[in-house]
Structure 1
Amino acid sequence: MSIISHSIVQRLAHLRATFTEQQVRSRLDGRVEEPLSRALRSARRVSAASIGRLWEAIRATRPEAAEVEGVLADGETRETAERYAANIENMIGAVKVPVGVVGPVRINGLNANGDFIVPLATTEAALVASYARGAELASRAGGIAAVMLTEGVLRSPGFKFANVLDAGLFLEWVVHASEDLRAAAEATTRYGRLVSIEPLMDNEIVFLLCRYTTGDASGQNMVTIATEALCRHIETHCPIRPLHWFIEANYSGDKKSTYLGLTSGRGRKVTASVTLPRALVEKYLHVSVERFLDYAQMANLGAMLSGQLGAQGHYANGLAAFYIATGQDAACVSESAIGFTRVESRNGDLFISVTLPNILVGSVGGGTGLPSQAAALRLLGLQGPGKAAALAEVVASLCLCGEISIIGALAAGEFASAHRKLARER
């Protein structure tokens, strides 16, 4: 019997039946003689006219464009096109994602305090229902305690020197010039503050991990512009010249799941917890506290054996739906969705907590000013200045609700039936 994976053997057989060897070589050589269509470009300023010009160009090469233009570029989208100008290039319309609500979620946070209606944008059936179940249970138990612990968005420029001695002399200069570097960075922003520079040296290469607070914005663009100013100051004033440098040398963990993000955070670090009375667990989750704990113990082992960064059930589900609904950078889910869910028995009741070190959200800036996203933040009651810390506590509380529900469903043996009922049979 062959020890080669059966799936590989099947795939090779399929390819053999579909293509000749010459066809494969022809397709993969990367040289197509047909002339390339003209690249689609629009004016930098988004408007109904610029959308129209792009669709005209698309129709010239894609006959099916006439059928979809009215869906993506409906009248309302064209009329409000200029509101999207700061958020996208080559705009041809807008995609509608259904929005559901969870709540009211009672949150007893240091910044988010009260009952919140939380909007979630998703195409995944059963997701909103699951988070809503966890929210109702947590709220009936008295509410969720939530605290934003720390904040600090990172950018990590890298510098290469001729040798390790120059790298060391550069680090010495940075130590003495740190206040000047802070001034150069902060001169680019009204709200950003450079709170630390943490060097990492690898022989002749030096990384400067620059940590910023960003006011009420998520702050990705803010810290990029500030760090460029910092690097330009180094380029102009440092007597030890690098051979070359880059504004982001892939050490900060931007839009990636990293151990650095897990241990030191790259956004707003938030923790949330609730103690669920035994009677409520049995009523709403249809499972005993003991069985809930049995599942959590096995799931933690699974997380450890698979090399998960942290240990949790499905933060990404709630984060992605919340980020899309409220105009956050959806790509940041990749780093936000790491952390730890902890479950314990407390005098026969069930204590559950979540800690997420990389919540990247803002109540201003980015996509938060777009029509639908601004409306979602208004519904939440957290649009505008002074609301970002509360927003982060809501996000952690939302993830806690999701953990309560999914662990309960898996422990009770209802996970598959819930998806069958809500996603397939409805």
Structure 2
Amino acid sequence: MTAIRPLRINGLNAHGDFHVPMATTEAALVASYARGAYAATKSGGISTAILYEGVIRTPAFVLENLLNAGLFVEWVVTNVDQLKAAAEATTRHGKLVSVEPMIDNNVVFLICRFTTGDAAGQNMVTIATNALCDDIVARCPVPLKAWYIEGNFSGDKKASFLGLVTGRGRKVSASVTLKADVVERILGTTVQDMLDYGQVANLGAHLSGQLGAQAHYANGLAALYIATGQDAACVAESAMGITRMEARGADLFCSVTMPNILVGSVGGGTSLPSQSAGLNILGLKGAGHGAALAEVVAATCLCGEISIVAAIAAGHFTRAHENLARHR
């Protein structure tokens, strides 16, 4: 495990200079993210904010017919307060913020959305949702043919349109305006060259049907998730979002918006020795740091986007991998 050079973040929850730990064997990855962090810090740092929060679980209920599905949804809507109480009785930290029905003929999915405190919260919301379902089974007068704790609608560990639009976890936006001289001196290219390549890259994203449009969130996400004890499989859904690059006078505005950041500063693998050390490097171990950790994740991904776009725009991408990976 290694850490990239100090990254300055001016966020709603994350403030200061952070040494970001990365667990990876790819030398070029660490160098690239470190370069992006250096350029962002030299331009005043990255602004970050959490826009939305809500981990979802989507149980599915099978009924006899469409009429019974409608009656079932009517009963759920009128009993939300009792269902909320049943779910929240299983956790001190989780709060059920909404139950949204989705009907497909005789099958009903309930989108159960929770806040999870400082934990990533996947086990938390599963246990809470199971209690909610048990309460439905015990009290609902509409006969059920079957029910399942997850109907494969939530996007758990999968890229999905639902996740891109509504989010699953913490939705975070991060941005920085890179000074033109920083782009030239540190990134070895120009603002216009980065914009020109960005236009082609966005076209490629649209033509290939990407969910969102970005270069490579997954690289930084995987390294940071493993280093801090997160569920690495969640990279599958976390690596979605939108990268933007626009001219701001002579300078370059860069941003990422990521709707599915699933991280926690407590729970899961965060207490393992190496992963605990990773969180301590960040200064974000334990209660009260979950939101700041999510902002650090988005800021780190922005650093990677800046560096890879600059490398490809300048024609340095292949040479960097040859020097740092093949011939190191």
| Residues 240-255 of structure 1: pairs in structure 2 closer than 5 A | 240-255=142-157
Q: CA deviation at 1:178?
A: 0.3
Q: Which amino acid aligns with 1:126?
A: A
Q: Which amino acid aligns with 2:287?
A: P
| Structure possessing the higher radius of gyration over alpha carbons | 1
Q: Which residue of 2 aligns with 1:295?
A: 197
Give the Cα separation in 1 of the matches to 2:264 and 2:143.
37
Q: Aligned to 1:314, which of 205, 216, 226?
A: 216
2:10 is aligned with 1:136: no
Q: CA deviation at 1:125?
A: 2.2
Q: CA deviation at 1:206?
A: 0.4
2:312 is aligned with 1:421: no
Q: Which residue of 1 aligns with 2:17?
A: 115
Q: CA deviation at 1:100?
A: 1.2
Q: Aligned to 2:310, which of 383, 387, 408?
A: 408
| Residues 38-77 of structure 1: pairs in structure 2 closer than 5 A | none
Q: Aligned to 2:231, which of 309, 317, 329?
A: 329
Aligned-residue RMSD, C-alpha? 0.5
Q: Which residue of 2 aligns with 1:184?
A: 86
Give the Cα separation in 2 of the matches to 1:347 and 1:226.
50
Give the Cα separation in 2 of the matches to 1:380 and 1:113.
11
Q: CA deviation at 1:153?
A: 0.3
Q: Which amino acid aligns with 1:140?
A: K
Q: Secondary structure at the match of 1:407?
A: helix
Query: When the two structures are superposed, what TM-score results if normalisation uses the length of structure 2?
Result: 1.00
| Residues 21-420 of structure 1: pairs in structure 2 closer than 5 A | 99-420=1-322
Give the Cα separation in 1 of the matches to 2:100 and 2:318.
47
Q: CA deviation at 1:285?
A: 1.3
Q: Which amino acid aligns with 1:283?
A: R
Give the Cα separation in 2 of the matches to 1:318 and 1:346.
26
Q: Can you list the C-alpha shifts for 1:395-418, whole angstroms capped at 9, x where unaligned?
A: 000000000000000000000000
Tell which has more relative contact order, 1 or 2 (C-alpha 8 A, sep 6+): 2
| Residues 4-19 of structure 1: pairs in structure 2 closer than 5 A | none
Give the Cα separation in 2 of the matches to 1:143 and 1:291.
22
Q: Which amino acid aligns with 1:384?
A: G
Q: CA deviation at 1:370?
A: 0.5
Give the Cα separation in 1 of the matches to 2:153 and 2:256.
26
Give the Cα separation in 2 of the matches to 1:104 and 1:214.
29
Q: Please, which runs of 5 or more residues in structure 1 have no aligned partner?
A: 1-98
Q: CA deviation at 1:123?
A: 1.2
Q: Can you list the C-alpha shifts for 1:294-353, whole angstroms capped at 9, x where unaligned?
A: 000000000000000000000000000000000000000000000000000001100000
Give the Cα separation in 1 of the matches to 2:94 and 2:220.
28
Give the Cα separation in 2 of the matches to 1:103 and 1:198.
43
Give the Cα separation in 2 of the matches to 1:125 and 1:134.
15
Q: Secondary structure at the match of 1:198?
A: strand
Q: Secondary structure at the match of 1:423?
A: helix
Give the Cα separation in 2 of the matches to 1:378 and 1:286.
33
Q: Which amino acid aligns with 1:346?
A: R
Q: Which residue of 2 aligns with 1:47?
A: none
Q: Secondary structure at the match of 2:113?
A: strand
Q: Please, which runs of 5 or more residues in structure 2 have no aligned partner?
A: none
Q: Secondary structure at the match of 1:382?
A: coil
Q: Secondary structure at the match of 1:148?
A: strand
Q: CA deviation at 1:103?
A: 2.1
Runs ≥4 residues deviating over 2 A: none
Comparing 230-239 and 284-293, the one that deviates more:
284-293
Give the Cα separation in 2 of the matches to 1:297 and 1:392.
28
Q: Secondary structure at the match of 1:285?
A: coil
Q: Secondary structure at the match of 1:152?
A: strand
Q: Which amino acid aligns with 1:306?
A: S
Give the Cα separation in 2 of the matches to 1:100 and 1:263.
34
Give the Cα separation in 2 of the matches to 1:378 and 1:425.
33
Q: Which amino acid aligns with 1:349?
A: D
